[in-house]
Structure 1
Amino acid sequence: MRLDGFGLFVEDMGKMIRFYRDVLGFEIKEDENTSNVYLLKDGTLFLLYGRKDFEKMTNRKYEYLKGVNGHFELALYVDTYEEVDKEYERVIGMGAEPILEPTTEPWGQRTCYIADPEGNLIEIGSFNRPFQH
């Protein structure tokens, strides 16, 4: 098997599309007026799927966390420590929820955390060098 992408089940599709597209720079692969929206970021597929639509498709009810979701994080990388600080300020100014201000960790990473409109954690970090797999 090969990783194709990942997704979030969302409550407010419009708000989440605007956040990931306008604040974080994901590209919409299709029309945003659908319940199953594909976004792209650096060649990775990112899916937003309406919670109610997913429940209908699977014929099940699910529980959803309220507030900040501590079950996973989406990690974004920038090349320099300075970019961590700039991006943090930029996305907070555009409505992201601040979680952890930029901090240089003992292992050499400068990192910060924000949350999207539905409380999913997003890390913006750097080891002060260009990204490498």
Structure 2
Amino acid sequence: MVKFGYTILYVEDVQKAIEFYENAFGFERKFISPDNDYGELNTGETTISFASKKLASQNLEDGFLESSLEDKPFAIELGFITEDVGEVVQKATSFGAILVTEPKKKPWGQVVAYVRDPEGFLLEICTPIQG
């Protein structure tokens, strides 16, 4: 059996990234390495992790595409579920997230909004899917 354990975002400053997610979404810090090159947040069953771009470069000899607010977001998103999408979007933007799409109700009843974090990663903020 395989279990999905974590997603790692490659960021400029691990400490700053952790602080943004703590402040904007209320996640709790799980771990930050002594050299600040790697950190994790408790977010429920799956962990969001952060690695410095320096560490990522050491692990990936051929390099990687860096996330940036100047470019379009990657074809992937992190989804955060809440009962009050508007409130979470407002809080996230007050801590530096960039609004991409205002909350909209989908045909299946779910409310969905999109923001980008300060490093440019795409975040979906949504209500639970009822089904």
Paired AA for residue 99 in structure 1? V
Question: CA, structure 1 residues 109+49, in 2 after alignment: closer, same or farther (shift >3 Å)?
Answer: same
Asked whether 1:44 is paired with 2:46, we answer: yes
For the residue of structure 2 that corresponds to 1:124, the secondary structure is strand
Q: Give the aligned residue type for 1:15.
A: K
Moved over 4 A (4+): none
Aligned position for 1:71 = 75
TM-score, normalization by structure 1: 0.82
2:30 aligns to what? 29
- 1:13 aligns to what? 14
Q: Is the 8 A contact 1:108 1:127 kept in 2?
A: no
Indicate the SS of the match to 1:72: coil
> Aligned ranges for residues 52-67 of structure 1 at < 5 Å?
52-67=54-69
Unaligned runs of 5+ in 1: none
Cα distance, 1:99 vs. partner? 0.6
Residue 124 of structure 1 is matched in structure 2 by 125
Residues 65/90 of structure 1: CA separation in 2 closer, same or farther (3 Å cut): closer
Give TM-score, length-normalised by structure 2: 0.83
